[in-house]
């Protein structure tokens, strides 16, 4: 169970949750009913949003770098 909330860049409320893509299991449906995640549909397109604000409905994409550049190299 993940109760993480993210600050919405649109309305500034801490009401953002992760969007789950793919065919949802019973557990995923239950998480969505508890507003722990949002359902995003069965297919995830490249660049699709991965956060949704439960307050205003705004969706956005958070991109995380796996290997940040090291200063002084390259």
Q: Write out pLDDT tens, residues 5-64.
A: 999 999 999 999 999 999 999 999 999 999 999 999 988 899 999 999 999 999 999 987
| 3-state secondary structure (DSSP) of residue 7 | strand
Residues 17, 6: contact at Cβ < 8 Å?
yes
Instruction: Provide the pLDDT confidence category of residue 71 given band limits of 50, 70 and 90.
Output: low
Instruction: Give the Cα-Cα-Cα angle 28, 36, 54 (nearest 5 degrees).
Output: 120
So what's the pLDDT on residue 64? 79
Domain residue extents for the chain: 6-57
How far apart CA 47 and CA 73 sit, in angstroms, is 29
């Amino acid at each position: 169970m993940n109760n993480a909330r993210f600050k919405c860049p649109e309305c500034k409320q801490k009401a953002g949750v992760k969007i789950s893509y793919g065919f949802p299991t019973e557990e995923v449906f239950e998480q969505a009913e508890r507003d722990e995640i949002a359902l995003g549909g069965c297919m995830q397109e490249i660049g699709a949003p991965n956060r949704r604000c439960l307050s205003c409905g705004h969706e956005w994409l958070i991109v995380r770098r796996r290997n940040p550049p090291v200063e002084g190299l390259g």
